[in-house]
Amino acid sequence: MANSDCDGCTDPAIRVMMMPRDVNAHGTIFGGVILSFIDQAGAIEARKNGGRLYVTVAMDRVEFREPVYIGDVLSFCTETLSVGRTSVRTRVTVWADRWAPAQKLVRVTQAEVVYVSVDENRRPAVIAELK
């Protein structure tokens, strides 16, 4: 993907091809499958800020602007929006690289996800202390 194609994202946190197992009765990919990948991609971004383990505490409104089809390659582009004492807020933008009928790139959705760093006992941990 060229830099301008993915809103500045040339190194997505995750890239995955959608397969028949992910399809619903309408012939499009289940939204829950995409939400799961959004959560994973956001967690990968959060880990860049220090900390060993993060848990998801919130995901803002997710509006699917375009359908996703079998064979689409999704890129989950991430960025850190803010880092707090124990939490990290990330933005995940999802792009579909369509191969049929003609190759084109479309933005599917975007979400902000909040993660909290936790220690071995699954209690909130100060991010700076874990670096």
Domain boundaries along the sequence of the chain: 3-130
Q: What is the pLDDT of residues 37-77, one digit of tens each?
A: 999 999 999 999 887 799 999 999 899 999 999 999 999 99
Pick the CATH number of 3-130 from 3.40.50.720, 3.40.630.30, 3.30.460.80, 3.10.129.10: 3.10.129.10
Spatial distance between the Cα atoms of 32 and 101, rounded to a whole number of angstroms:
25
pLDDT, residue 7, reads 56
The mean of the pLDDT values for the chain is: 89
pLDDT at 129 over 70: no
pTM: 0.88
Reading across the β-sheet that carries 53-59, which strands appear in turn?
14-17, 73-83, 87-98, 104-118, 53-59
